[in-house]
Amino acid sequence: MIIRDYITREVIRTFGGVFLVLFLIILSTQLIKSLAAVANGKIPIDFLFALIGLRNLQSLTLILPLTLFLGILLALSRLYKDSEMVALSACGIGPVTLIKSVIIVLASFIVLEIGLALVIGPWAFSRMQIVEEEFKLQADIELVVPGQFTLSNDGKRVIYAEEIVHRTKLKNVFLHVDTDTRSSVLAANEANIETDPRQGARYIVFQNGHRYDGESGTLEYRDIKFKDYGVLLEGRGRAVIQLDRDALPLKALINSDNLYYKAELQWRISQILMMIILALLAVPLSKTSPRHGRYGKMALAVLIYIIYSNLLLVAMNWLRKGVVEAYIGMWWVHLLFFALFLFLFARQMGWLSGLRRKSHDVLHCPDEFDEMVKD
């Protein structure tokens, strides 16, 4: 149908504009966070742009339902503002046709949201966590700048190297290790970075150097000369990296009886359901008079989205704590807003007019009053 194609094009075009604005806002925010992570030594500089891309993939899961909701609302509101819906209504085009047009657009976005929420988003989380954990294994050395003293992440070590060759060999190395009761200083002309093949742990091995040990606050120190001396660097072996719930694959969540895992699974599915319900809810919400303008319902739409998303967070916390059963979980929030859609749609279709007529009968309103209203 030509009218249906026209409505579909309007929705997609408006969606593109709204998505561009929201995506640029998210992109700038993620850029600031990523630069802060690099500055704090949590992420290597060569992973910066990949980190921004992964974080934006995660953000798409959340902003896609909002973007589609606002896109449909603005597109249909323009039809009401320009009185095009009046002409369409005269041709027999009503809310049912709008719902069908929205479903056509929604079908393609559902596939995209399923991929983002269930596959791509968790993969992006896992990739970021793996890179962060691997960087922690190299943190002591990767942050060392030749000719400068570098403080470790735990604040208990200071390392200095006059020169670094091929990232594994250091020249004129100095290491100060401070504990609660003792202080140690290691100095050597050379040191090598070696990795334990079984555990993945990394060591800095000093060669032909001296170690000076002593108790804090005293003058009792001892000088130990050594040929080879290994110091474990910060971090853990790669084998013990455990992914967070956000980064777990779908299969691990489905087969688990853990309440936290069940809550995470329902949260991912809820992103898909929220997009569907909000897209349908935009149809009755878009009805407005030309006097109110195209953006008359924007504040209400944003408020509905905020309430919806916050109720989902509340329901997820309840499920994690065992306040509600898993079969109730987060589904009651979706049922609540789907009921809101049914009410608004029935009101738009005029199905509730019979109830208002019955209320007039109960109040014994005269028939002349109805005629006066019609006039």
Give per-residue pLDDT as tens, 21-40.
888 888 888 888 888 877 76
Domain limits, the chain: 2-135+249-368, 143-232
Four-CA torsion 69, 75, 80, 82, nearest 10 degrees: 160
Predicted pLDDT at 137: 58
pLDDT score of 283 more than 50: yes
pLDDT score of 333 more than 90: yes
Confidence of residue 53 (pLDDT cuts 50, 70, 90): confident
Contact between 181 and 216 (Cβ < 8 Å): yes
**Rounded-to-integer distance, Cα 25 and Cα 117, Å:** 21
- Summarize pLDDT for 345-356 with one digit per residue, the tens: 888 877 776 555
Four-CA torsion 131, 132, 135, 139, nearest 10 degrees: 170
**Rounded-to-integer distance, Cα 262 and Cα 330, Å:** 10
Amino acid at site 46: D
As given in the structure block, the two tokens for residue 358 are: 């019955």
As given in the structure block, the two tokens for residue 65 are: 């339902």
**Rounded-to-integer distance, Cα 265 and Cα 138, Å:** 33
